[in-house]
Amino acid sequence: MQLLICPGYHSPALTNAFLQSLLGVLTPEQLWVLPIDAMPRAMFWLLNAEQRPQQECLLQIVAFSAGVVAVYPLVLAWQKMGGTSRLIAVDGWGMPLLGVSDIYRVSHDRWTHSTTYFPTPAEGAGYFYAEPAVDHLHLWQSPHLAKGRGSLAASAPRSMMALEFICAVLSQE
């Protein structure tokens, strides 16, 4: 499994901390970090038939904050070319994500969760929100410390940590 990470505009130290939290689940070789300013090159790479991955490959992405906005066109282009994708949008507040097939939302508080557009239950794959609320940047830096409520595939919400939710999504077939 390969995982594309698209962070927002913040200190790289926060993304490094997020990556460290994933190392119990993934190896460094499985993690690709794509900064926002690299998105135009990524679109070119994706559209280059000789270099792009096979469409049968599931493109898994974890994007944070402004990174959700930046990666959205890439996900839509990948799907338009026949590829499948799974997007975990961490605090992508205000981004509607129309047309993305597998969407999982992670929010730093219940209000953000409640006020973010989410497709109908048939389209939405799952969500997590921190309860009690945590700081926006803290959620990215320390998902293993963000406790809250989560639901996968329309299951009843249950208590879990943000990292637990993210790992559950990534381990799905």
| pLDDT digit string, tens, across residues 40-74 | 777 666 666 555 555 567 889 999 999 998 888 88
SS3 call for 67: helix
What pLDDT is recorded for position 123?
46
Domain with 150, as residue range(s), is 3-34+56-170
Listed in sequence order, the residues at least 6 apart from 137 whose beta carbon sits closer than 8 Å to its beta carbon are 10, 14
Dihedral sign for Cα 38, 43, 49, 55, please: positive
Please state, in angstroms and rounded to a whole number, the distance separating the CA atoms of residues 37 and 59: 20
CATH code (residue 126): 3.40.50
| Residue stretches of the chain with pLDDT short of 70 | 1, 43-56, 117-124
Q: Residue 43: inside a domain, yes or no?
A: no
**Helices 66-80/39-47 angle, 10° precision:** 10
What pLDDT is recorded for position 38?
77
The total number of structural domains in the chain stands at: 1
Average per-residue pLDDT for the chain:
84
